[in-house]
Every structure is written in structure tokens, then in C-alpha cells.
Amino acid sequence: MKKSLLRIVAIFVAVAFIVGIGYAVVPKYASAKSSKKQIKIGLSLATLQEERWHKDRDEFVKAAQKLGAKVLVQAANMDDVKQKEQCENLISQGVDVLVIVPNNAEVFTSIIEEAHKAKIPVISYDRLIKNANVDLYISFDNIKVGELQGKYLTSKVPKGNYFVFRGAPTDNNATLFYQGAMKYIQPLVKSGKVKVLFDQPVKDWKPEEALRLCENALTAAKNNVQGILAPNDGTAGGIIQALKAQGLAGKVVVTGQDADLAAVKRIVEGTQTMTVFKDVRLLAKKAAEVAVELAKGKKVSQLKDVNGKVYNGKLNVPSILLTPVAVDKSNIDKVLIQSGWFTKEQVYGKK
């Protein structure tokens, strides 16, 4: 009887030991599996006001998802305080990389410091973050963008009166566009062939602000203008609206940038003269790829696509710079339709 009882106890202890091992092993195994967490990328957009930013967002998310990453997207509607709060929120959610399109290039020092404390690298996307330890800058060659605008404008209007519109003063790209354009405009001003009757920035890139400024400039110049440097397609739209009211649309050369569909249609109808195409499909895809590489632990110095450095007021930021293309009536089909940016039906409204 005692022997039987001892056997039962021994079996019970053995079973309990085996079961105990099983429960000890299972949580350990589950923990190891869950450690391979999905990469999370925070994408902070200054705005979704212009058509192009919707494309940047969608292409970035699509490219990141193909690489197995999750993207948390925030848009600040041109509000500096809101964008900083959104970035803080993304950091608190434990993103592995933070990608920022800054509304105001000058206000992100504390955000980047906070991200770095959490060991989160920061990529400055399209617009350069100033005076801060940003890890990487990826954009188009924005001085080249301005050069394309200035070269086109001066070739079409080698003499006459100009209005010069600059982009938002809070956006470093606006400064670069202006610098590039003035490389071509300033020599003509110096020679006396061109007179700049108006030269002002457009707050927040707003078309309605460009419209108001152009109305005032036209009044002051008594409509005597032959060429207008518009920094992007949105502002060009406002400027052309002001020109239409004075019967000048199509008679004044107007530049642009971004290859928005509305702008391309204006080029076809003859009221806008050119735009600059920056294929954000390539930009967003490349940004997503390098964001994932950094999230996996690769250092910026190991990224094969870094092809330059851009000084941001504090340091020379390693940069990936893509090439923009000037577009007018002569190459819309080749550059924008054959590349799949738009369909023929979208541009011309016919099959």
C-alpha cells in the first residue's frame, strides 16, 4: 500500500515537473518570437495642401509597406506648434525612424534632440531642417529647380519687366529656388535688360496670397509685366487668376514647379508656360528604402545613395539629391504621360 502510494506521488511530481518545464519554455519562446517586431516609421508632413504631398505620402507608405514596415502619418496643416506636438507623439509611440517635412525649418532642434535620446534617427524629407543635428537629407537638387525656372524665364523674356515671387520664408527650399533662379535673372538686371518691379515671398505658399500680391503688383506696374517667376504651381495658379482678371493670361510668361495636374492643364491651354517635374515617386521610394535601412541599424555613412552634403547652418548634412526636369508644351507627353505620372485623358481630356 505504501509502495503504491509512493509510486503515485512520484508520478504526480514527475508530471508536475514536466508541465512546469512546458510553461517555462512556452513564454520564453513566445518572447523571442515577438522580439522581431515590425519596423515603425513616423512620417510628419507640414501640409497636405498641395496635390503633390498626397502623392509623397501615398508613395512613401506603399514603398515602406512593401519592405514590411508600418508608417504612422501625421499632417500639421502649416501649424508649427501642431507639427512639433505630432512629432513628439510619434517619438512616444516608439517609431524606429522619424521622417520630417518641416513647415518651419528653424524649429526642430529640440525635437531632433528628443528623437536622438530615444535612439531614433531623423530624416529631413524634401525640405531641409536648419540648425539641427539631422541625420540625413533627401530631396531634389533645389538650387537646380530654381535654375531651371530662371533659365527658362530669361530665355523666353530676355528683356522687360519681371515680378519675382518667392516661396514661404519659413521653407528653406524657397531660399534655394530663389538663389538658383537669380543666377540667371540677376545678370539681366545688372545689364539693364530686365527690371524687377516686384520681389516678395508668399506666406505659406498660399495661392490666395499669391493672387492678392499679384493684383497689387499689377496695379502698381499698370499691368506692364512680361515675365513672372512663380515658385510653385499653387502660387502660379493664384498669379494666373490675377492675370486673367486683367486680360493678361497667356500673354505673360509664368513659371511653376511640382507638375500638378491643374498646372499641366494650364500649360496645355497656354496660361502657364512651364513647370518643374520632381518625380516624387522616386523620392518617396528612396526615402522609404533608406528609412528601413536605418531602422535595421545601418549607419548613414553606409548608405550607398548618399551623393552630397548640404550645410544647414550647423553641419554639412549627408544628402541624397535627385534631379528635376523642366516641362513645357514640348515635352509633356514624353516626361509626364509616358512615365505614367498622368494619363493622356487626364491631361488633354480625351482618349
Closest to 123 measured CA to CA, from 161, 95, 92, 160: 95
In the chain, what are the domain boundaries? 40-134+279-322, 142-278+327-348
Q: 40-134+279-322: which CATH topology? A: Rossmann fold (3.40.50)
Cα 8 → chain centroid: 73
Same topology, domains 40-134+279-322 and 142-278+327-348? Answer is yes
Q: Grid cell 517619438 — which residue?
A: 91
pLDDT of residue 37: 85
pLDDT band at residue 49 under the 50/70/90 scheme: confident
Residues 6+ apart with CB under 8 A from 303: 136, 290, 293, 294, 318, 320
Handedness of CA 125, 127, 133, 138 (dihedral sign): positive
Q: Does pLDDT of 215 surpass 70?
A: yes
Q: What is the CA radius of gyration of the chain?
A: 27
**Helices assigned H by DSSP within the chain:** 2-34, 51-66, 80-92, 109-117, 142-156, 172-191, 207-221, 233-245, 261-269, 280-295, 332, 344-348
Q: 142-278+327-348: which CATH topology? A: Rossmann fold (3.40.50)
pLDDT of residue 13: 44
Residues 284, 101, 133, CA angle at the centre, nearest 5°?
Answer: 110
Residues 6+ apart with CB under 8 A from 333: 344
Residues 6+ apart with CB under 8 A from 25: none
Cα 190 → chain centroid: 34
| d(C-alpha 58, C-alpha 60), whole Å | 6
101: helix, strand or coil? coil
Does this model's pTM top 0.85? no
pLDDT in tens, 251-292: 999 999 999 999 999 999 999 999 999 999 999 999 999 999
| d(C-alpha 182, C-alpha 159), whole Å | 15
Cα 318 → chain centroid: 17
